[in-house]
Structure formats: structure tokens, C-alpha cells
Structure 1
Amino acid sequence: MTGPYVMDVTESFRSWPEPQFSYRRPLAVVLIPGAFLFFLAEAVVDAFRLHSGWVSAGVVICVVVYAATYLFAIWQGLRVSRVSRVLLVLVLTVCPVAIASMMNASDLTYLTYAIVTALLLLPPVAGTVYGVAATLAELMATNIAHGAPDWRGGLVLIVMTVAMLSVRGFARQTDELALAREEIKMLAVAEERARVARDLHDVLGHSLTTITVKAGLTRRILESSGDVERALEQVHDVERLSRLALTEIRATVSGYRKVSLPAEIAGAKAALTAAGISAELPQAVDDVPGELQEPFGYVLREGVTNVIRHSGASRCWIRLGQSWIEITDNGTSKSTVDSGNGLSGLRERLAKVGGRLTAARGGEGGFVLRAEVSAS
């Protein structure tokens, strides 16, 4: 027998996943399906009422084995190997066939439990084929034994097949939803870690650079002129910056930190001046939309930090437009444009507002850092 349908069954087995399920509701898994086993009591009653001796004993044994195997399949079936699952379905097939052969062909209706197990343990296509085959077998057997097919029993089997197929699909969707929720939680944790790492880099990088510059300036003042009052001013600035950095770190960790573009411009002017770098800065930020002021503030902070630490520049130009910001210097550093944590973090921030970041050498030396957001 060949054809597309057989190929579908074969492919279904080839893609049959290994068991990887964990039950979160063990009582419901066993008790609810197991509650329907009381229908098997009718087979035992009929065996003692209509038969005696070995037939009654054989039916009782088959019912006990059938019920026990069914409960085991429901409870542990998805955790055993593929071969074991097939064996469980075979045992559950043999038991009702044996009962029907000892008593009545209509008892093949008890294949209901085997169909449930097949749809649970086998691939979907294979389970569906099993359900249809069991229904046809019941109709053919009753037709041979009684002269007419037992349509009532066949309807029970086919309805059970369709119902269990639907339940399986619903259960799979439920499992996928649970996995999706777990993945969302993991992604949220990863995103929060990335945010904290990115913000701490921006806060500490800029603050420590400014503190280092201020401390160096204090040392040079004391070494060259001994101007204690001027040196004390720088020390006070270092103390203020340290406290500010500590406050920003706490706000970053708690997720309440917000960057102000005007404050970053003022901070950039103070840091560049302390580093001995002449700066041209924008006078106002009113033209910049509110949703862009925070990412532009981060760009300004990172750009100025890099100018102070790496460029060796004497001048720095900061230009600002409605949808862009650019930091340029006349540095002489021969280092290559770096795409480390700072610039990577800026790209992530700008991507959230539909912007992009470019960093390259300027035409006459130095570096140009530009952030631009496309107009919507």
C-alpha cells in the first residue's frame, strides 16, 4: 500500500519528537481520564451474567490489565521511549480484542481507551489513522458476527477519535503558551540585565572620566602654583561628581534614571573645560522632540567621554538638530574606530526610536560621531 497518505504517516514517525514533557497537574492527568474506566465494569458484569468459568476469569484479567495499562500510559506514557509507547498501544489493542472474541463483537467499542492512548502517545497522523482503523474494524466485526454493522459503537469510536484529536491540539497549544511565557520571562530578565549593564557603562564611564580629569587638574594646580583655593574648588567638584555618580547608579539599578539633554550639555561643557578642550555647544534643545532628548543625551555623554579619554583633541564641536546630533573633534589619535560596549549600547538605544549611529574619522583628522533618526 503506497500513496500520499502512507507517506504522511511515515513522515509523521520520522519527525516524532523524543519525550520531553513534565506534568504540572498530575492528579488531573490520571483522575479525569481514569474516571471513565467505570464503563469497563459493564464487561465484567456481562461476563459473570452470561458466561462462567474461564470466560469470566479471562474477561476480568483482560479488564484489569487494560485499565492498569491505560492508567500507566496516561501517567507515564509521554516519558517513555518510542518503542515503549508503541508496545503500550499494542497491549491496549489486544485487551479489547480479546474481550470481544470471548463475548461479543460489539465489545470492540472498548477500543475507545486504546484510541485515547494512541492519539496521546503516537504522532498525530498515526493516532488518527489508528482511530479510523479501529472504527472500521468494529464495524466490520459486528457486520460479520450479527449481519449488520454496529453503527452506534462505530459512532462512539469516531467521535472519540475526533474529540481526542481536538483535545490533543488544545493541550499542545497550552504547552506552547506555557513555554512562550517562560521564554518571555527569560527575555525580560536578559533585557533588564542588558539595560543595567548599558546604563552602568554610560554612567560610570562618563562620571569616572570626569572625576579623573578633575583629579588630574587638581594635582597639576598644586604642583605648579600651589593655588589651594582653586585646588579646593576642583576637589569639591570631584566630591559632587562622586555623589552624583552614586545617585545615578542607584537610579539605574532601580530603573528610575532619566537622562536630561540640557543637563548633559552642561556636564559636557564642564568636563571638556576641565580636560583643557575648547568646546562649541548648542545653546538650546527646544527643537529636539521629547522622545529623542534622552537617547541624544546618551549619545552626547558617550561621545564627550570618548573625546576626553581617547582623542587627544584640543577642540570639540557638538551640533544638534531636530532629528540628529553630531560630536566632532580635531584629535590626533591613531586608534581605530571602536565598536565596543559604549557604541553598541548607543546603537541599541537608537534602534528603539528608529535611529542609527555612525562613527568614523573626520576629513581633517579626529572623529565624527553622529546619531540620526529618520523622520516618520
Structure 2
Amino acid sequence: MTSVSGMSSFDRWAGPDAAGRPRRVGYLFSVIWLVFLLDPLQAGWQHRDTWQGWVGMVATILFAAAYVVAFALVRGRSLRAGAVPQPVGAAMLLLLLALAVVMCLTLGESGLATSVYLTVTAVMFLPTRAAVVAVLLLAGTTLALSTLVPGWQPLPSLLLSIFLAAVAMWGVSQLIRRNIDLSRAREENARLAVEEERNRVARDLHDILGHSLTVITVKAELAGRLLEVDPERARAEVADLERLSRDALVDVRRAVEGYRELTLPGELARARAALLAAEIDADLPTSTDVVPGDLRELFAWGVREGVTNVIRHSAATRCTIRLTPDTVEVLDNGRGPSDAEVLERSGNGLRGLQERATALGAMLMTRTVEPQGFSMQIIAGTVS
């Protein structure tokens, strides 16, 4: 039955805790299967009047303890999406093998019960090919001993148990590996999602603040020049500065929250006001009806970035914005960019705009215009 938290009662009892550490109760699963070692332990007790009996019992207890430790290593590593180092695994396997040999020498045929545990350990610790070889050697050795040693009887059920245990443990190990791969993939996807969101916020903040601060700077300079010659207009520009700063704050909040809404008519209106404040003649379209709905936000970002660059860099006296169903162009008659300005213009602003355009199958193009000027254009439907 599954709880409201989505975790089954089995997972809560035997799985990892909230910190990802293995629960101690989960180790009981390995202890349960040690019941099959009661036979060699009983054989040792029956011969407790001899040193072989006591050595056999001690070896059986040590074998059980070593097997539980091996299980704990594999379980702990798998819950932490790791793997037991091969030297450690080989050492554990050799230790169990040595104890099994001691059990067979002191307790006789009952010591062959260890072959199933050795099979499981080999599959847990060894690569697949090496594990197959180890299982075949264990099965062959078990068959040879039970057949050739005087007084021992062939045990077909034991051979069947060896192969069944190998297949079952191989399936479990494959499941563990798949879970580890899935866990790592989820971690990588989460990391990429965080990185993508961080890039989105950085890109949007650059686009929004770059435009808003440029307009605020231009209006502040204009207000400073008008203080002596036209105080009334200067006060109006200061009032606009307050409004623009509040609008910029709202835009930043919406961008961080991920609920930003950019409209093409709104950006054209902002562009007209910004160009007017910068004393640049504006030739802007009066309607945006020709632009399809799925391109309007992209074209709005294009208008914002293009006008910001015109005000910052161009020293232009005129700016023209042209709209068609599949293009937007911001054209100025300025002096054109210098090499340094080309590097600056190709920074976060145009890079972010290029990413937006590519995501919608469009292309961003920039060029100088003869005899002077600069053009930034977005052309839709050019990237497959």
C-alpha cells in the first residue's frame, strides 16, 4: 500500500532514510538468508568435542559476518549511486572463499552450502564476464567435490540453487545499475534546468535593465540641460524618470518570477518615447497587425534591443523600424559601430536575442549601411 507521500511502506522500512542513508532495518534482508548456514553450524556443534568442530563453527560465524558486511557495502554504495571499489570487492570475495575452504575441510559436505553465498558475492562484486567465469568455476568445483570426495553425495539441488542465485543476483545488479544511471541522469537534468533558468534570468535582466537604464540616463541628461532654460519641461522629464524607474522595477520582478509579458505595440510606444528623449527622429509603424501572433514577442525583444543600441552607440539623428509578416528591422543613420562597439553589441544583448530567434526558427542579422548607418534585422522561418 502506498502512503500519501508516494513512498510505499516497504520503501520506508527497508529503503534509504530522508538523508539518503541506508536504514539499518534493511540489512535484515541479508541476515534472513543466513538460515541456510544453520546446517554447517549444526554439523560443527555435533563435533564440538573435536577441534575441527570448533574451527568449523567459528569459520561459519565469520563467514556469515563477512557476507553481511559485503551486502552492507553493496547496499550502501548503491543507495548513494556509487560502486564498491574492485580491490575491496575482490578482497571480500577472497575472504569468503578462504572461510568456505576452512568450513569444507573441517565440517565436510555441509560446508558446500557456502557455494550459493559465494555465487551471490561474485555477481555483486565482479564484472559480468568475470562473474560468469566465477559462477561456472564454483558450480564445477561443487560438482567435482560432491562426486569425487569419498562419503559425499552429489547434490543436484545445490547446483540448481547456484545457477538460480546467479541469475537472480545478476538481475538485481542490473536493476541497481539502471537505478544509479537514472539517478545520475535526474541530477544532471536538475543541474541543467537550474543553469538554464539562471541564464534566462540573466538574459532577461540584461535586456530589460539595459533598455530601461539607457532611457533613464538619456532623460536624466536632458533634464539636467533643461534645468536652467526650461524648468517646467525639466520637471516633466524628472517625473518621467520616476515613472520609468518604477516600470523598470516591475519588469525586473516579472522577469525574475518568470511571468513577463512583452507586447510589440507596447515596445513600439516605449521606443518612440525613448527616441524622442534622445532627440532622435523616429519613423515607426503605426500598426502591428501584419505580424503573426507567434512572432510578436520575439519582434518586441528585437525592437527593444535594437532601439537600445541605437540610443547607446549610434549617434544617429534618425531611427526607422520596419515590420513585415516575417521580419523586423531597426535601422539608423548613425556613424556605424567601431570595432570595440561591435564587440560590445555582440555581448549579452544580441546573444540573448539570437538565442530567442533560433528557438523560434528565425535568424538575427546585423550589417552596416552605406553611406552610413547600421541595421539589425530578425528574419523568421530561416532556421530549420
Is the 8 Å Cα contact of residues 202 and 302 (structure 1) preserved in structure 2? yes
User: Is structure 2 residue 167 aligned with structure 1 residue 162?
Assistant: yes
User: Is structure 2 residue 37 aligned with structure 1 residue 30?
Assistant: no
Name the CA distance, whole Å, in 1 between partners of 2:271 and 2:197.
Answer: 28
Name the CA distance, whole Å, in 1 between partners of 2:171 and 2:221.
Answer: 74
Is the 8 Å Cα contact of residues 109 and 156 (structure 1) preserved in structure 2? no
Which is worse superposed, 316-325 or 204-213?
316-325
Cα RMSD, aligned residues only: 2.3
Look up the match of 1:197.
202
Look up the match of 1:143.
147
1:186 pairs with one of 191, 206, 209: 191
Is the 8 Å Cα contact of residues 142 and 148 (structure 1) preserved in structure 2? yes
Is the 8 Å Cα contact of residues 40 and 110 (structure 2) preserved in structure 1? no
What is the CA distance between 1:244 and its match in structure 2?
Answer: 0.5
Name the CA distance, whole Å, in 2 between partners of 1:151 and 1:117.
Answer: 21
What is the CA distance between 1:290 and its match in structure 2?
Answer: 2.1
2:259 match: secondary structure:
coil
User: Is structure 2 residue 363 aligned with structure 1 residue 356?
Assistant: yes
Name the CA distance, whole Å, in 1 between partners of 2:360 and 2:117.
Answer: 57
- Counting only pairs closer than 5 Å after superposition, residues 39-188 of structure 1 correspond to structure 2 as 39-49=36-46, 52-76=49-73, 81-105=85-109, 107-145=111-149, 149-188=154-193
5+ residue gaps, structure 2: 1-18, 78-82
What is the CA distance between 1:299 and its match in structure 2?
Answer: 1.5
5+ residue gaps, structure 1: 1-21
Which is worse superposed, 113-122 or 243-252?
113-122
User: Is structure 2 residue 253 aligned with structure 1 residue 253?
Assistant: no
Q: Which amino acid aligns with 2:279?
A: G
Which is worse superposed, 282-291 or 44-53?
44-53
Taking structure 1 as reference, are residues 320 and 55 closer, same or farther at Cα in structure 2, changes over 3 Å only? same
User: Is structure 2 residue 287 aligned with structure 1 residue 284?
Assistant: yes
Is the 8 Å Cα contact of residues 106 and 153 (structure 1) preserved in structure 2? no
Is the 8 Å Cα contact of residues 109 and 138 (structure 1) preserved in structure 2? no
2:158 match: secondary structure:
helix
Greater than 4 Å deviation, 4+ residue runs:
77-81, 146-149
Name the CA distance, whole Å, in 1 between partners of 2:179 and 2:156.
Answer: 34
What is the CA distance between 1:312 and its match in structure 2?
Answer: 1.1
User: Is structure 2 residue 271 aligned with structure 1 residue 268?
Assistant: yes
- Give the share of equivalent positions with the same residue, in percent: 40
What is the CA distance between 1:303 and its match in structure 2?
Answer: 0.9
Look up the match of 1:370.
377
Count of aligned pairs between the two proteins = 353
1:221 pairs with one of 217, 221, 226: 226
What is the CA distance between 1:161 and its match in structure 2?
Answer: 0.8
1:365 match: secondary structure:
coil
Name the CA distance, whole Å, in 2 between partners of 1:321 and 1:82.
Answer: 66
Is the 8 Å Cα contact of residues 313 and 337 (structure 2) preserved in structure 1? no
Q: Which amino acid aligns with 1:111?
A: S
Q: Which whole-Å deviations, capped at 9, do the CAs of 1:326-371 have from their partners, x for residues lacking one?
A: 1121210442323201111112222222222222323433222122
